[in-house]
Chains A and B, each alone.
Chain A
Amino acid sequence: ETGVTQTPRHLVMGMTNKKSLKCEQHLGHNAMYWYKQSAKKPLELMFVYSLEERVENNSVPSRFSPECPNSSHLFLHLHTLQPEDSALYLCASSQERASSYNEQFFGPGTRLTVL
């Protein structure tokens, strides 16, 4: 595997379900990100992790719970979601957080549909 991978690629869940999205980066990076891309809206930053420490929580509802067990893996745990949470969830990584050269590399995304 190369770059940033995400699983599953597609997920359909009911509002009472609990599921998790997984992201893995094979680039040796130290920072990882979760973004949400809804139809007709710009990408929204959700969470930022640097060296496994959460450094940004962009006013995200508590029904989204991130976890970063190591610098290569990032999870987004989902519970009691709403239909408006349906979106493309994108994971990204970068070499380090505090740098002017902070090129972010994205995974293919998980298309989430909440029924």
Chain B
Amino acid sequence: KQEVTQIPAALSVPEGENLVLNCSFTDSAIYNLQWFRQDPGKGLTSLLLIQSSQREQTSGRLNASLDKSSGRSTLYIAASQPGDSATYLCAAGGYKLSFGAGTTVTVRA
């Protein structure tokens, strides 16, 4: 069974600092890894999807890397802003996604 772990569980940084969010998974036989953002009481917003054959994906200030052999993915958010405050979830798999518990980020103005 796929186990997904996200560390740290919570993170508080001053505005402008770069964010590094970590995700690890136990089964490297995945089709893709997806990063989501969730605001309190809301649904999930897809941020980036990395296919199993890819090493990284970029969108604006966001960059996600994937290392299947070590079972790790990292989400980098450059020059954080208060609007980046949310819970970030990673999910590994294919159509059956296994989710981590998330990292709750607070960006202080």
Chain A residues close to B by CB (< 8 Å): 4, 6, 31, 40-43, 45, 48, 50, 55-56, 88, 90, 92, 94, 97-109, 111
User: Would A45 and B43 be within 8 Å (CB), given that A99-B31, A100-B52, A103-B49 are in contact?
Assistant: no
- Across the interface, which residues of A come within 8 angstroms of B102, CB to CB? 42
- Across the interface, which residues of B come within 8 angstroms of A45, CB to CB? 96-97
Which positions 52-109 of chain B face chain A at CB distance < 8 Å? 52-53, 89, 91, 94-102
Nearest opposing residue in chain B for A43, CB measure = B99
- A-B CB contact pairs (8 Å), 20 listed: A6-B43, A31-B95, A40-B101, A41-B101, A42-B98, A45-B97, A50-B95, A88-B41, A92-B44, A97-B95, A98-B94, A100-B52, A100-B94, A101-B49, A102-B95, A104-B34, A104-B97, A106-B46, A109-B42, A109-B43
Choice from A4, A42, A109, A111 contacting B100 with Cβ under 8 Å? A42
In the bound complex, how far is the Cα of B80 from the Cα of A41, in angstroms? 27
Choice from A42, A50, A56, A88 contacting B101 with Cβ under 8 Å? A42
- Across the interface, which residues of A come within 8 angstroms of B97, CB to CB? 43, 45, 104
In the bound complex, how far is the Cα of B96 from the Cα of A42, in angstroms? 14
- Across the interface, which residues of B come within 8 angstroms of A97, CB to CB? 95
Is B45 interfacial (CB-CB < 8 Å)?
A: yes
